[in-house]
Amino acid sequence: MNTKSHIYCSNCGAKNADGAKFCESCGAKIDMPIKIEGGDKSNDKSTIIVPDQSSVIDKDSRCPKCGSKNIHIGRKGYGGGKALLGLVFLGPAGLLVGQMGANTVFRKCLDCGNKF
């Protein structure tokens, strides 16, 4: 079994060498790569690792609502609305409230729209 790690471009999906900064296929910058451990794609035990999130997502994940495998994996960013409320109630330090929940990994089914 091949134990090399590869990263895949989030723009075009091309396989790149682990640690690549730019996609070899389309040239897009690889900021938050999706990394597949164990280069053997036929291995049913392969996992997708979302870097800096310490969460592992099974490559055969399915939507719990409709059973589809057409799933988008994303991250939440800074919440401007929460920051504005924090600013009103807590002053300038309240701007940090917008950071709450940022970088949380979420999954969304592209067929039925279910977020989980």
Per-residue pLDDT of the chain (116 residues; tens, 9 = 90+): 455 677 777 777 778 888 888 888 778 787 654 554 554 444 444 555 555 444 445 566 788 899 888 888 887 777 778 778 888 888 888 777 777 766 677 788 889 999 88
pLDDT reported for residue 43: 45
Beta-strand relationship, 55-58 and 47-50: antiparallel
Tell me the C-alpha to C-alpha distance, in Å, between residue 104 and each of 12, 52, 60, 93.
23, 10, 21, 22
Domain ranges, ordered by start, for the chain: 1-60, 61-116
Q: Residues 18-56, buried b or exposed e (16+ Cβ, 10 A)?
A: eebeebeeeeeebeebbebbeeeeeeeeeebbbeeeeee
pLDDT at 9: 74
Identify the pLDDT of residue 45: 47
Q: Specify the DSSP class assigned to residue 88.
A: H
Task: Please tell me the predicted confidence (pLDDT) of residue 112.
Answer: 93
Residue pLDDT, tens place only, 73-99: 887 777 778 778 888 888 888 777 777
